[in-house]
Structure 1
């Protein structure tokens, strides 16, 4: 029995459709898979209120939710505008500083950007700024008109701190501790004459470590912008995306809102 011509044409069309679908599926399976960026950042900071604050009551933290303050919120805002996952930890500054420099996709905040550090990192920022301040005890009669006036005085600082390192490099008499927590007590006990720290940080650290109040800021001798310092081993194209993420957060008002919340101005 002959097959009607119309049925034959329909069968041929169906076969063509099946062949076309099969070819399409083959092409899709052979095409390279487009995946989300799986770059993961390891971001470190230190306990340095109000810029970075430990919520654990200790000088270290293993999770983002245990870290508060101005700079963590800014870093979180910039990372939200990138395709990258990240983890945030709080560690001793000198350890974190060395560790980040040696590892790809690692970063450290808030890091003062100075001439001495310029080539050691790639920089994303600025985030905030620190005011290099010399504090005296409440009952001290020390008066300073310039940094030169501090020559011959004993100054408290801490290991790895940019202000401490600067004074040491200039020949000032600075005694260092591992963290800044002991320095307010050393100051009021008369073990040192001055304490070098940030203008906002000093009173907070003193209050939280010994309930010390009334420290006298006798000289502000420098102001330095602070950045997210990214390891030089990191792809510069990735760093550019981090900067773009911060720029977007600044443009949409997020960074200004964080500053306003903490009362640090522009």
Structure 2
């Protein structure tokens, strides 16, 4: 009888634990899995690697915007930094998964639900420090060799328009390629160029010679995610925009870029 009593108590405790877990899940809402890539200063790894497993190890302007958005929602979330292709495919296939900061375009439009805009991506052509290259328009770069990277929206767009753009798997070596004269120009975001050159190649004084386009970035959310969750995320972002949080984050990073 004693053993049976202990078993019953254990069963009851187990049932209580399960009920508490279910209650906690209901109280806090859905758990979301948010992925990003190392693209400083918009998304930056604090681990010394190009990946991270915890949101505490991921910083950057766009990351701060997403964290501010999430603070205005009821959702629990996990944040990870991975390779772009892995993150993109995982998010596309799984419920309650999102990828930031992602450019929204015709090719991707129907693959995701969209929350945003988060921050603008300012398409800029950089020349090496000391370079005498001058551009009055994008067409002036037609016969020059431009560094980009595989999967990048700016790179792929220029390639489609007939420009000579390299496509390594990562953007991190492009500042060094520019410095060594392997390429003439580097296409990247206006904030990303100086920060990435400094962190990846210890190079300062990058010359932004032409800012030729601007697109907005978003949180791309899997199509299988409930629409009410996406609406909750959008509401959280809207609040962060309305109270000035997003504007303050952007201003802080623009000031840093001016000093690099």
Give the TM-score of the pair, scaled to structure 1.
0.82
String of CA shifts for 1:189-232, please: whole Å, max 9, x gaps.
Answer: 11111110011110111111221122221111101111111112
Per the alignment, do residues 257 and 236 of structure 1 end up closer, same or farther by CA in structure 2, a change over 3 Å counting?
same
Give deviations 1:58-100, integer Å, cap 9, x for gaps.
Answer: 1100000001111122111211222221100011122212221
Q: Following superposition of structure 1 onto structure 2, how do residues 46-61 of structure 1 map, counting pairs within 5 Å?
A: 46-61=37-52
Confirm or deny that 1:35 pairs with 2:37: no
Distance 2:251 2:210 in 1: 26
Q: Does 1:193 find its partner at 2:188?
A: no
Are the aligned partners of 2:136 and 2:210 in contact in 1 as well (CA < 8 Å)? Answer: yes
- 8 Å Cα contact 1:114/1:224 also seen in 2: no
Q: How many residues align?
A: 232
- Do structure 1's residue 83 and structure 2's residue 74 form an aligned pair? yes
CA RMSD of superposed structures (Å): 1.8
**Are residues 1:204 and 2:203 paired?**
no
Preserved contact between residue 104 and residue 234 of structure 1 (Cα < 8 Å): yes
Retained in 2: the 8 A contact 1:94–1:159?
no
CA distance in 2: counterparts of 1:140 and 1:252, whole angstroms: 42
Is the contact made by 2:191 and 2:254 (CA closer than 8 Å) also made in structure 1? no
Deviation at 1:37, TM superposition (A): 5.1
The reply on whether 1:247 has 2:244 as its aligned counterpart is: no
Query: Is residue 106 of structure 2 the alignment partner of residue 118 of structure 1?
Result: no
Candidates 165, 169, 179, aligned match of 1:174: 165
Select the structure that is richer in helix.
Answer: 2
Larger Rg belongs to: 1
Other structure's SS at 1:74 match: helix
Would the aligned equivalents of 1:124 and 1:228 in 2 still touch at CA under 8 Å?
Answer: yes
The change in CA–CA distance for 1:157 and 1:246 in structure 2 (over 3 A counts) is: same
C-alpha distance in structure 2 between counterparts of 1:243 and 1:88, whole Å: 18
Give how far 1:116 is off.
Answer: 3.2
- Unaligned runs of at least 5 residues, structure 2: 1-22, 256-260
Contact 1:164 1:196 in 2 (8 A): yes
Once residues 68 and 231 of structure 1 are traced to their aligned partners in structure 2, the CA distance between those partners, rounded to angstroms, is 23
1:98 maps to 89
Q: Could you tell me which residue of structure 2 aligns to residue 153 of structure 1? A: 144
Alignment equivalent of 2:120, drawn from 117, 129, 146 = 129
Asked if 2 retains the 8 angstrom alpha-carbon contact of 1:46 and 1:52, the reply is yes
Instruction: Report the TM-score, using the length of structure 2 for normalisation.
Output: 0.83
Residue in 2 that maps onto 1:70: 61
